[in-house]
Amino acid sequence: MFFSLKPYFNLLDKLATILKGVPEALHAKLYWAILFVVMMPLLDLALAYWLFVMLMVLQGGTSAVLGVQLGEGSLGITIAVFVLLTLARQGVEYLSIKTTRTLTQDIFQAFSLRLIEKYLSLPWLDYTKETKAIRIKHCTATALDGAYSFQVLFNLIGALVTLIVLGTATVVKVPVLAITGAALMVFFTYTSKSYLKRKLQTAVKGHDYHQKNFYQKLYESFSLSREMKIFQVNPYFLEEINMELNRLSKAKVDLSVFPQIPRIVLELILTLAIALGLLATVVVGNYTSDELIANLATVAILARRIVPAMAMLMSTFTELDGSVMNIALIRKELNQGAERENYYKPVLQHPELLMHLKQVSFGYRPEEMILENVSLDIAQGDRIAVLGPTGRGKSTLLMMAAGFIPPTQGEVLVTPALGKDQLPVAYVPQEVTLLSGSVRDNIRFGQEAFDEALAWQVLAATQLDKFVGELTLGLDTPIGDNGVLFSGGQRQRIGIARALYRQPFLLFLDEATSALDESTELAVMANINQVMGQGAVIFITHRQSTAEQHATKFCRL
């Protein structure tokens, strides 16, 4: 069928999708923004009308406004009202731009924060399904593109209200012109819509795909800069990034050009229609010369607003498809995965038993079990060495005990105090990642208060006190990107100090001292034993000597 209401329902659906994305705290700002956007065309109408009145008065004629006759003597006041109206219009335009742009930024911030919060609360296995680079891309570029939907929405509302208000005025003033313009717009919308929609959807998908690749390659290149230099492969990777940037730029150009095509064509058609319509009005219309001049000026003002509004309506229709896809992508990201599950069962009643892994099994893939029916008791004061060949599942077991990976079968039973998170659990992974701030930032690690005495105590335990004490800025020394200013062993020890600072009752160390020389490792482990007292330490090591010297129990996989 040539005419169908379906697109309008689709449009309402899209608008609802966009509006549902607004966080509640921003609703008031949203209403203000819409109010200013709607006020603009109303003031435009008032201005166009007042121009007509002013021109009539200026030419010695009269005009009745709200029952008051304005004639030659009212020229001053007529001009003053015109200036006031213009000031009001420009003021509202400024407020409209300011509120819509502020809201768009606020929505970007809200999207970005929600995504970051979501990613950080994902269960470990869900979190590792996607690369960090792509998650960063979603929290920055996708969130920004999604927020831009609101700019499109405001443009759409502004264009619609302008068309309704000023279009009605045009129909009253110059019916032939208005009807010709409306007919042309409807015809053009229907003939070009599906073609442009297809083009734009392809462009949006391409844009997302190449943007992901770009972030991925960039992230990898910066992480691998040393390897790239030593293997002399910078040109290869630069070329790859350049190719991705080329594709991304092309997709970006397509995305911004496609919605403009209907606008350009429509403006051309409408300008011709206005010229023809005005000619017809002058030839056929029955106006006095005063009225004709005033009418022509009014129509010119109306047309100056209506033509861009029509064009804007066309481009926002097309842009809306792309924008909604970004919002849908953000929603998909926000709805993925479950919340991180606390699978600790706080049922252990034995006074000294902190944790009991009861016949736990786990496989990253159902057909390949990594751990099968493993049982382990962790009691107060235990020092447990987890041993086994590489790839056997030691880290997996440690992460399961630390609360990151729920067992496929079996249970992780804990003392009730641990179940309620009253006794802290600390974990140091194989690869320690450090904040780029100071030593203090890394030890405090997000805690407001800072216990300086405790910080020096844990630095002494990890044999870093002398080194940090001799730095010019001491605890406040910046350690660079991921602690680049420290040696590998020093980085590992900052990671351990960070864990000890929490005064944990259960400490999991995944080869956390592997970068230390043997004597430092033995000394640090001895200090950890002392600091941990009645707490339990579960550590993975490939060094027999470390295991023999410090373990009170062994868990062989």
Ligand X SMILES: Nc1ncnc2c1ncn2[C@@H]1O[C@H](COP(=O)(O)OP(=O)(O)OP(=O)(O)O)[C@@H](O)[C@H]1O
Q: Does 207 engage in binding with ligand X (CB under 6 A)?
A: no
Quote the least distance from Cβ 399 to ligand X, whole Å: 8
Quote the least distance from Cβ 355 to ligand X, whole Å: 18
- DSSP helix/strand/coil, 413: strand
Query: How many whole angstroms separate alpha carbon 334 and alpha carbon 349?
Result: 39
Is residue 509 within 8 Å of residue 460, measured between CB atoms?
Answer: no
Query: How many whole angstroms separate alpha carbon 280 and alpha carbon 176?
Result: 8
Quote the least distance from Cβ 557 to ligand X, whole Å: 7
Question: What per-residue string of b and e applies to 502-512 under the rule 16 or more CB within 10 Å gives b?
Answer: bbbbbbbbbbb
Quote the least distance from Cβ 523 to ligand X, whole Å: 24
C-alpha distances out from residue 272 to 172, 173, 268, 276, Å: 20, 18, 6, 6
Q: Which member of 394, 444, 498, 550 binds ligand X (CB under 6 A)? A: 394
Quote the least distance from Cβ 394 to ligand X, whole Å: 4
Quote the least distance from Cβ 366 to ligand X, whole Å: 12
Query: How many whole angstroms separate alpha carbon 238 and alpha carbon 221?
Result: 9
Nearer to ligand X, 76 or 391 (CB): 391
Scanning 217-225, 266-274, 275-283, 394-402 for contacts with ligand X by CB under 6 A, the matching segment is 394-402
Amino acid at position 19, single letter = L
Instruction: Return phi, psi of residue 343, to 5°.
Output: -95, 5
Q: Which member of 158, 167, 259, 393 binds ligand X (CB under 6 A)? A: 393
Nearer to ligand X, 382 or 510 (CB): 510
Bridge partners of 384, per DSSP, are 538, 553
Quote the least distance from Cβ 396 to ligand X, whole Å: 3
Tokens standing for residue 193: 């819509």
What pairing do the DSSP bridges indicate for beta strands 344-345 and 409-414?
parallel
Quote the least distance from Cβ 21 to ligand X, whole Å: 32
Is residue 506 within 8 Å of residue 376, measured between CB atoms?
Answer: no
CA angle 275, 281, 285 (to 5 degrees): 170
Quote the least distance from Cβ 538 to ligand X, whole Å: 13
Nearer to ligand X, 114 or 392 (CB): 392
Instruction: Characterise 353 by phi-psi region: left (phi > 0), alpha (psi -120 to 50), beta (else).
Output: beta
Q: Does 396 engage in binding with ligand X (CB under 6 A)?
A: yes
C-alpha distances out from residue 373 to 49, 288, 433, Å: 84, 99, 32
Query: How many whole angstroms separate alpha carbon 101 and alpha carbon 111?
Result: 15
User: What residues numbered 328-367 form the site for ligand X, per CB under 6 A?
Assistant: 364
Quote the least distance from Cβ 185 to ligand X, whole Å: 55
Quote the least distance from Cβ 405 to ligand X, whole Å: 9
User: What residues numbered 363-392 form the site for ligand X, per CB under 6 A?
Assistant: 364, 370, 388, 390-392
Question: Going by C-beta distance under 8 Å and a sequence separation of 6 or more, which residues neighbour residue 304?
Answer: none
- Residue 185, burial from CB neighbour count under 10 angstroms (0-12, 13-18, 19+): buried
Quote the least distance from Cβ 512 to ligand X, whole Å: 12
Residue located via tokens 């008032």: 46
Q: Give 480's Cβ-side CA count (13 Å radius).
A: 6
**Count, residues in the chain:** 557
Quote the least distance from Cβ 429 to ligand X, whole Å: 10
CA angle 140, 146, 149 (to 5 degrees): 145
Nearer to ligand X, 169 or 399 (CB): 399
> What is the 8-class DSSP label of residue 368?
B
DSSP string, 454-471: HHHHHHHHTT-HHHHHHS
Q: Give 295's Cβ-side CA count (13 Å radius).
A: 18
Query: How many whole angstroms separate alpha carbon 236 and alpha carbon 419?
Result: 52
Rg (CA), the chain: 35
Q: Does 544 engage in binding with ligand X (CB under 6 A)?
A: no
Q: How many residues belong to the site for ligand X (CB under 6 A)? A: 11
User: How many CB atoms lie under 10 A from the CB of residue 37?
Assistant: 26
Quote the least distance from Cβ 404 to ligand X, whole Å: 10
Is residue 359 within 8 Å of residue 374, measured between CB atoms?
Answer: yes
Nearer to ligand X, 409 or 438 (CB): 409
Q: Which member of 62, 105, 121, 128 binds ligand X (CB under 6 A)? A: 128
Would you tell me which residues interact with ligand X (CB under 6 A)?
Answer: 128, 364, 370, 388, 390-396
